[in-house]
């Protein structure tokens, strides 16, 4: 099972990052905008990212035009017909993803691999709407895709072993390290990482430590590159909230339930770095802990 041409559906941060990476390592890529509107914004973001990679030496300047030329940006899924692998990277909504997979099954060849970049949703639930089912798998990249080395390859209920092998080999060809994971909500990383962030929020709510001190403790005491609050803001608090809800729906354990502080921030639209405020306030540099979350001093 050989992968020579890759399709990506979704022109958000992850979809653009996957297309960037695939093209950088020599694969032709078809990047499809899944929502209404022109592809101009996506093209601008993609070009900016490629230019930045070249300025930092990740792409040789003389190779930049070739990398850019390997990416076809379009707004029609029909352009995916001749792809050997199609990676879905749209909104984390199971109904929307299932509708997309139904369409993809009608467009691509029967032996083409269909993979989802979901972070917590059931790959088997997507497999259930497809025929044949054995070519459906998960391919979970991490943000920012060009820099993060890990990809979780998810073996769903009826995924063929040959598909998993082909995906793992593909990951290595694009400079990534694959780990094979059974289809469990949150897989490995988010199944461990989400409760870690939620427990940090509970420590804050209990007054055990401040945002800054909890983050510092995990940076200096556990050698984490960033603390749980900075990480949550980087991921996006809406994403963390969704991951928590998906995992809680699966395991129904209190430690996976959403803390009140996270719920409040999401309701108010404070989603972290992308909105300028979350657990930290990014309107100042360096960012400061969100003043609204400081506990009163006795």
Q: Active-site residues: which are they?
A: 119, 140, 152, 190
Task: State the Cα–Cα distance between residues 220 and 217, nearest whole angstrom.
Answer: 5
CA angle 270, 272, 276 (to 5 degrees): 80
Q: What is the dihedral of CA 233, 123, 101, 48, to 10 degrees?
A: 30
The DSSP code sequence of 10-41 is --SHHHHHHHHHHHHTT--EEEE--SSS-SHH
Per-residue tokens: 146: 């060009």
Using the structure block, give the residue that is written with the tokens 């080395």: 149
Nearest to 214 by CA among 168, 178, 261: 261
The residues that bridge with 140 in the sheet, in sequence order, are 152
Inter-residue contact 113 to 2 (CB < 8 Å): no
Which residues make Cβ contacts (< 8 Å) with residue 278, sequence separation at least 6?
A: 229, 232, 233, 237, 265, 270, 271, 272, 290
Using the structure block, give the residue that is written with the tokens 């990014």: 282
Inter-residue contact 11 to 39 (CB < 8 Å): yes
Q: Residue 59 class from Cβ within 10 Å (0-12 exposed, 13-18 middle, 19+ buried)?
A: buried
Helices (H), 236-293: 237-251, 260-267
Nearest to 114 by CA among 90, 143, 147: 90
């Amino acid at each position: 099972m050989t992968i020579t041409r890759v399709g990506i559906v979704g022109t958000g941060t992850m979809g653009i990052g996957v297309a960037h990476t695939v093209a950088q390592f020599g694969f032709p890529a078809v990047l499809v905008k899944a929502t209404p509107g022109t592809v101009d914004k996506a093209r601008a973001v993609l070009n900016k990212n490629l230019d930045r990679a070249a300025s930092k030496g990740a792409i040789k300047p003389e190779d930049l035009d070739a990398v850019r030329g390997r990416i076809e940006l379009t707004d029609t899924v029909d352009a995916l017909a001749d792809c050997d692998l199609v990676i879905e990277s749209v909104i984390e909504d199971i109904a929307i993803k299932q509708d997309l997979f139904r369409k993809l099954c009608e467009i691509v060849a029967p032996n083409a691999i269909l993979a989802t970049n979901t972070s917590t949703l059931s790959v088997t639930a997507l497999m259930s709407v497809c025929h044949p089912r054995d070519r459906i798998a998960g391919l979970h990249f991490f943000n920012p895709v060009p820099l993060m080395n890990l990809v979780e390859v998810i073996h769903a209920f009826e995924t063929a072993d040959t598909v998993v092998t082909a995906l793992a080999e593909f990951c290595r060809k694009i400079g990534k390290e694959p780990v094979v994971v059974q289809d469990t909500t949150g897989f490995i990383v988010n199944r461990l990482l989400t409760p870690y962030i939620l427990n940090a929020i509970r420590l804050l709510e209990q007054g055990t430590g401040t945002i800054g001190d909890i983050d510092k403790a995990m940076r200096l005491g556990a050698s984490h590159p960033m603390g749980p609050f900075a990480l949550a803001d980087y991921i996006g608090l809406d994403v963390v909230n969704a991951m928590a809800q998906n995992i809680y729906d699966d395991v129904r354990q209190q430690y996976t339930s959403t803390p009140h502080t996270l719920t409040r921030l999401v309701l108010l639209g404070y989603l972290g770095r992308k909105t300028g405020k979350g657990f930290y306030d990014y309107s100042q540099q360096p960012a400061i802990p969100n003043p609204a979350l400081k506990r009163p001093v006795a």
